[in-house]
Amino acid sequence: MSRVDVADGAIAGAVGSTALNVVSYLDMALRGRPESDVPQETVDRLAGIAHVDLGNGARAANRRSGLGPLIGYALGVAAGVGFAFYAGGRRQPLPVATGLLGAGVMTMTDGSITVLGISDPRTWGRSDWISDIIPHLAYGLAAAATWNRLRRPPGRGR
């Protein structure tokens, strides 16, 4: 595994995270649904576990608003790096890579909010699942396509 592969995995994860956010915001705009408070609740729980004081009032709310999405991007980039190790520097079939990346990030996200006691996916309805699955598939597709695009085609240099 080369540093280039790790960097390409991080790039693929960042592109996937951007796609996930675009699809989520598009869903909010089209359906008029509110923004999720799960990222801010995650920040609160993690800050409590780490004994980190976020401050008071508006300052704490602003930190939660900033840190919530950053945690999401960090998770997406980390998943891209993990995928780079799995892929061993090679291109992967797009449907397989999309599924692995999308399901992997969804499992990490939903698993962490379950462990932190923020939400219980077992209680979600159809609309909740659709709002969760589609952005994660967008993550998987964008990250997988980016990964494959960054891999040199057989018989060609970079």
Q: What is the pLDDT of residues 55-92, one digit of tens each?
A: 999 999 999 999 999 999 999 999 999 999 999 989 99
> And the tokens for 71?
């945690």
pLDDT at 114: 96
pLDDT band per the 50, 70, 90 thresholds, residue 157: low
Share of the chain above pLDDT 70, in %: 96
| Burial of residue 136 (number of CB atoms within 10 Å: 0-12, 13-18, 19+) | buried
Chain centroid, CA 44 distance in Å: 19
| Cβ count within 10 A of residue 54 | 15
Q: What is the three-class DSSP state of 95?
A: helix
**Residue whose token pair is 């008071």:** 56
CA gap 139, 143 in Å, rounded: 6
For the segment 137-153, the average pLDDT, to the nearest whole number, is: 94
**Residue 95 above 60 pLDDT?**
yes
pLDDT band per the 50, 70, 90 thresholds, residue 2: confident
- Give how far Cα 10 sits from Cα of 14, 23, 110, 146, Å: 6, 20, 21, 10
